[in-house]
Amino acid sequence: MLLKGRRRGHELRDLHGASRAVAYLTLASAPYAAITGALTPGIGVFGLVAVMVTAIGMAVVGTICWRRPTFWPPTFWYGAPAIACTVITLLNIGTGDSSSGAQLFFLWPVLYAANFLGHRAVAVTLALVFAGHAGVVFSLLAPSKALADWVAMTLAMSMTAVVVAGLRTRADRLREVLERQANADELTGLTNRRSLTESLTEASEWSRRTGNCLALITVDLDHFKAINDTYGHAEGDRALMLVAKAMNTVTGEAGIAARLGGDEFVMLLRLSATEPQARQAAIEVAEALVAVVSASTDSPGGPPSLSVGVALFPADASTVEELITASDAALYEAKTSGRSRIAVAKGRQNVDHVPQINRLVPNQRP
């Protein structure tokens, strides 16, 4: 009944940074191209017009990237290095400029790809840079000089790409570690409240799009304060970690287990079913959680008992906020009616389809 989430595909790294990088290149290159074009001997009227039109176009593109980066389709940002290599090559050949300063513009597409695109894009960009630079130097310089310049540029650009890509990879790994720490509960390692809020929003959109149900299962340890007072906080922490481990076991990769704080936990499940099958599947997951916790033999006072509230979206709620309220209400009912129970939300669902509301947890007493 549980439906595994899809992995996200590759996405452009940092649209804001990529747009600024393109803007810096084009806005800086536009006046440079115009000035060098105007000062190029024998360029002719046609050549001068072509250079000026190109410079104006670069300025327009740079301004749009600076002010409205979302104007461009996603493919633009992936094609930016290829466009840059082409423009740089044509301008350098057109103006007859084979100087080191002009050729250093080829550094931009390499840095851009290494910072914002994947490894394959970096390799393709390097190939385009090598080809573009070869086209410039071998058309403007003597063969021996052109070959020396091309080899030097190839080595410099390759080393630059390797260093920048390596630094980016290390930065990505550090960011992933920091994100995991920011989104995980320190004691149990489960998802924390902040990350759960984002997951709930994404999951509700998935439910509306597919027509399938979500289940939010709220879990509370019964008499948790008594565990701390009787056996110490270390034993209380072990009880929390026991529940966390059990939640990971029953949700697997198809759901999200989170700790909201204290002794309160939730499980968010994407169910590949509609009412009433989804409700039955959610209750079975709750029962499995209770069974795993009940089977533990490590606690000196015996395994902790659980009160559980189950609610479904959209059967019991029309918004994420209502889903949270419905699950909390079910949990409150389980606790006030004797604890050690699984209670099902009494929202908008057809109560005839709700199996054994407020059933006692197997092998437990209130």
pLDDT in tens, 41-69: 777 788 788 888 888 988 998 899 999 98
> What count of other Cβ atoms lies within 10 Å of the Cβ of residue 208?
12
Q: Which residues pair with 267 in a beta bridge?
A: 217, 257
29 or 363, higher pLDDT:
29
Per-position b or e across 180-207, b if 16+ CB within 10 A of its CB: eeebbbeebebbbeebbeebbeebbeeb
* Residues 6+ away with beta carbon under 8 Å from 98: 92, 136, 137, 140, 141, 149
CATH architecture of 193-360: 2-Layer Sandwich (3.30)
Instruction: Find out whether the peptide bond into 366 is cis, omega within 30 degrees of 0.
Output: no
What is the DSSP pairing of strand 264-271 with strand 255-261?
A: antiparallel
pLDDT in tens, 321-341: 999 999 999 999 999 988 889
pLDDT in tens, 168-194: 888 888 877 777 767 777 888 888 888
Q: What is the per-residue pLDDT for 129?
A: 94
Between 107-116 and 15-39, two packed helices, what is the crossing angle to 10 degrees? Answer: 170
Give the residue from 11, 15, 18, 37 showing the smallest Cα distance to 109: 18
CA distance 59 to 293: 65
Structure tokens at 140: 């403007």
pTM for this prediction: 0.57
| Helix ranges restricted to H, the chain | 15-39, 44-67, 74-95, 100-103, 107-116, 119-140, 143-183, 193-210, 224-231, 233-251, 277-294, 320-336
14 or 59, higher pLDDT:
59
> What count of other Cβ atoms lies within 10 Å of the Cβ of residue 146?
18
Contact 329, 218 (CB under 8 A): no
Instruction: Find out whether the peptide bond into 276 is cis, omega within 30 degrees of 0.
Output: yes
CATH 3.30.70.270 residue window(s) in the chain: 193-360
**pLDDT grade for 347, boundaries at 50, 70 and 90:** low
Measure Cα distances from 305 to 154, 177, 331 in Å.
67, 34, 13
pLDDT in tens, 190-239: 888 888 888 898 899 999 999 889 999 999 999 999 998 898 999 999 99
